[in-house]
Amino acid sequence: MTDWTIAYKAMVCPEGRLDFLTPGARQWECTSQKRTGFRSVVPTSLARRLAGCLAVLAWCAVPATPLGAQEAARGDSAAVRVCMGGDVSLGTNLDTTWVDRAAKWMRHRPQALPAPSRLLAPLVPMLNGAGADLVMVNLEGAIGDSAAGADTTAKCTGAVSRCYALRMPASAASALRHLRDSGEVVANVANNHSRDAGQTGLTRTLDALEQAGVHVTGADTIATPVVTSRGDTVAFLGFGSSGEPDARNLAAVRRHVSRAAARYPRLVVTMHLGAEGRRAQRTRDTMETYFDERRGNPVAFAHAAVDAGATLVVGHGPHVVRAIEWRHGALIAYSLGNLVTYGPFALDNPLDRGALLCATMDRGGTVSAVRLISTRQRAPGLVRADPRARAAVLADSLSKLDFPKTGARLVVEATVHEP
CA torsion sign for 207, 211, 217, 223 is positive
Is cis: bond before 380, omega within 30 of 0?
A: yes
pLDDT at 181: 97
Is cis: bond before 225, omega within 30 of 0?
A: no
pLDDT at 50: 28
pLDDT at 319: 97
pLDDT at 296: 97
pLDDT at 91: 94
Q: Do 256 and 225 meet the contact criterion of CB atoms below 8 Å apart?
A: no
Q: Do 165 and 197 meet the contact criterion of CB atoms below 8 Å apart?
A: yes
pLDDT at 222: 97
The structure's pTM equals 0.85
Spatial CA neighbour of 281 closest among 338, 200, 196 = 338
Q: Are strands 338-342 and 53-58 parallel, antiparallel or unpaired?
A: unpaired
Dihedral-angle region of residue 409 (phi above 0 means left; psi in -120 to 50 means alpha; beta otherwise) = beta
pLDDT at 378: 95
Q: Do 220 and 260 meet the contact criterion of CB atoms below 8 Å apart?
A: no
- As a three-state string, the secondary structure of the chain is CCEEECCCEEEEECCCEEEECCCCCCEEEEECCCCCCCCEEEECCHHHCCCCEEEEEECCECCCCCHHHHHHHHCCCCCEEEEEEEEEEECCCCCCCHHHHHHHHHCCCCCCCCCHHHHHCCHHHHHHHHCCCEEEEEECCEECCCCCCCCCCCCCCCCCCCCCCCEECCHHHHHHHCCCCCCEEEEECCCCCCCCCHHHHHHHHHHHHHHHCCEEECCCCCCEEEECCCCCEEEEEEEECCCCCECCCHHHHHHHHHHHHHHCCCEEEEEECCCCCHHHCCCCCCCCEECCEECCCHHHHHHHHHHCCCCEEEEECCCCECCEEEECCEEEECCEEEEEEECCCCCCCCCCEEEEEEEEECCCCCEEEEEEEEEEEECCCEEEECCCCHHHHHHHHHHHHHCCCCECEEEEEEEEECC
Domains of the chain: 3-67 (no CATH), 71-153+164-407 (3.60.21.10)
CA dihedral 88, 93, 98, 100 (to 10 degrees): 140
Average confidence (pLDDT) per 10 residues, the chain, 419 residues: 52 64 37 32 32 32 39 58 98 90 89 97 97 98 77 70 86 98 98 93 96 98 97 97 94 98 98 97 97 95 98 98 97 98 94 98 96 96 96 97 97 73
Angle between helices 298-307 and 250-263 (to 10 degrees): 30
Q: Could you tell me the end-to-end alpha-carbon distance of the chain, in angstroms, rounded to an integer?
A: 7
**C-alpha distances out from residue 407 to 325, 341, 367, 391, Å:** 4, 28, 16, 15
pLDDT at 156: 80
CA torsion sign for 85, 87, 93, 98 is negative
